[in-house]
Structure 1
Amino acid sequence: MAREFGAPPVIFPSGGNPTVATGGNIQQRRVPTAPFQPSRPSNSGIPFMSFDIGSSATNTAGPIGGGTGPIGGATNFDEEEPLLDELGIHPDQIWKKTKSILNPFRVNPTFHKDSDLSGPIFLYLSFCLFQLLAGKIQFGVILGWIVVSSIFLYIVFNMLAGRNGNLDLHTCTSVIGYCLLPVVILSAVSLFVPQNGAIRYGVAGVFVIWATRACTNLMVAVADGGEEHRGLIAYACFLIYTLFSLLVIF
Structure 2
Amino acid sequence: MFSLFKKLTIDEVKEKLSKLSLDEYQWLSLSINEGIKFQDEKKKTFQLIGKKSFTIELKKINSELKLTLDNQNLTIAHDNEVTFNFDQFLNESISSFIDRKKECLNEGNKDVLDFEGETKAHEWIRVSFEVLKRALEEAKKKEDLLVEYRLFMGRRPNSNENLIRLLAYNLDITYHFRSNGDLQVIIYNDKNASRGSAKEPSLSVIFKAMKNQAYDELINLLSICAKSSNF
User: Do both proteins adopt the same fold according to a TM-score greater than 0.5, normalized to the shorter chain?
Assistant: no
Q: TM-score if structure 2 supplies the norm length?
A: 0.29
Max radius of gyration: which structure?
Answer: 1
Instruction: Name whichever structure is richer in strand by fraction.
Output: 2
Q: TM-score if structure 1 supplies the norm length?
A: 0.27
User: Which structure would you say has the larger RCO, counting Cα contacts within 8 Å and 6 or more residues apart?
Assistant: 2
Instruction: Name whichever structure is richer in helix by fraction.
Output: 1
